[in-house]
Amino acid sequence: MIRDDWSLQEIETIYNSPLLPLLSRAHALHCKYHSIDEVQVCTLVSFKTGGCTEDCKYCAQSARYQTSVVPLPLMQKEEMLAKAKEAIANGATRICIGAAWREIRDGKAFEIILSTVKELTQMKIEVCCTLGMLTQEQANRLKEAGLFAYNHNLDTSQQYYKTIISTRIYDDRLETLARVDRAGISLCCGGIIGMGEKREDRISLIHTLATHKPHPESVPINLLIPIKGTPLENRPPLPIWEMIRMIATSRITIPKAMIRLSAGRLERSPEEQMLCFLAGANSIFSGKKLLTTPNPSFADDNQLFKLFGLKKRPPFKAGRDQETLLAERVD
């Protein structure tokens, strides 16, 4: 039975359970709800790079920090489509358009996004956007344009959020999630670990996601990449076991979701990535850049798939399209 009434205590018990039983339980649910030999390939396309007004302490794109990211002009629609086509030719079935914004503003840039979403949708792939906070009307317009999913990460626990970001509050994030839900767009929502948070913060984040109604269709789990020039540049790396616990606990409590290995994969060995797949991860981001940070190339990932005997997961495989999500929704 899929549950959305998990208590914090229950999730804490799962997260802290011995590793082998934890992995075993997560793997059983992974096999029940997904094809174990399939991993979805996603690619991010950066529509607006750098110059963001927000102060997220982990981010290379914040204008408040001296990082190597140089703000770029908005990417042209043709370039976005070309990048998407290259990714699709390499097996990607989900394309996510990203923009370094606090929130979407109505106007020319938003119109370009809507028009790009329309064209990408015709390519029969899952189209996602991550553009910051949005109004209900903007969410509805994205839905009308055919948008399949919207990414809006909670990043960490409600308690720790203010340590990482001061320019908005957790409730702002939750409000955008509610607007995405109301528009009938599939929700992609996850977080970043290794930002100095405690284990209880990671557990609290999973609790928020696992009690969200309906569950997110997609849960990206990022390992902090410490960026030179940001306040978190000297953060020591988190042991891989925390990543494994995070993935496994998400798989157990949000079993139908796609669990996406996101930032931080370049530094992970094939063995570590295999453990992540065993724990329930079933998606990766592929392509040399993950918005602005280095990431495994398509060629590297093709090798990885060959080594592991993995197949690339087709789009819409979970069968949880917007209508299904709405039908499952418990108000």
Which residue, 60 or 92, has its beta carbon nearer to ligand SF4? 60
What residue spans of 16-76 are helical by DSSP H?
19-33
Residue among 42, 52, 129, 189 flagged as catalytic: 52
Give me the least distance between CB of 170 and ligand SF4, in Å please. 14
Which of 57, 87, 13, 44 lies closest to 260, judged by CA? 44
Asked whether 54 and 102 are in contact (CB, 8 A), the reply is yes
Clarify whether 129 is annotated catalytic: no
Return the structure tokens found at 105: 């503003």
Annotation marks residue 276 as catalytic: no
Residue 31 among the catalytic residues: no
Say how far apart CA 208 and CA 203 lie, in whole Å: 9
Task: Name which of 314, 240, 249 is nearest 279 in CA terms.
Answer: 249
CB of 101 to ligand SF4, least distance (A): 7
Phi, psi angles (nearest 5°) of residue 165: -140, 130
As measured in angstroms, the least distance from the Cβ of 323 to ligand SF4 is 30
Q: Indicate which residue of 202, 245, 260, 320 is catalytic.
A: 260
Q: Please report how close the Cβ of residue 59 comes to ligand SF4 at its closest, in angstroms.
A: 3
The encoded tokens of residue 328 equal 């499952």
Active-site residue, from 42, 56, 129, 189: 56
Residue 177 identity (one-letter amino acid)? L
132 vs 220, which CB is nearer to ligand SF4?
Answer: 132
Q: Given the complex with ligand SF4, which of 45 and 279 has the nearer CB atom?
A: 45
Q: At closest approach, how far in Å is the CB of 17 from ligand SF4? A: 32
If the CB atoms of residues 77 and 102 are measured against ligand SF4, the closer one turns out to be 102
Binding site for ligand SF4 (CB under 6 A): 52, 54, 56, 59, 61-62, 100, 102, 132
**Closer residue to ligand SF4 (CB): 61 or 273:** 61
Say which of 42, 128, 129, 189 is annotated catalytic: 128
CB of 132 to ligand SF4, least distance (A): 6
| Residue ranges in the chain assigned as alpha helix (H) | 8-15, 19-33, 77-89, 108-121, 136-144, 158-164, 170-183, 199-210, 240-253, 270-279, 298-308, 322-328
Distance CA 239, CA 304 (A): 22
Whose Cβ is closer to ligand SF4: residue 52's or residue 243's? Answer: 52
Residue 52's Cα: distance from chain center in Å? 19
Determine which one of 42, 94, 141, 188 is catalytic. Answer: 188
Told to judge if 52 belongs to the known catalytic residues of this protein, a careful annotator would answer yes
Mark whether 189 is an active-site residue. Answer: no
Helix, strand, or coil here: 298? helix
Catalytic residue among 42, 96, 129, 189: 96
Kindly list the catalytic residues.
52, 56, 59, 96, 128, 188, 260
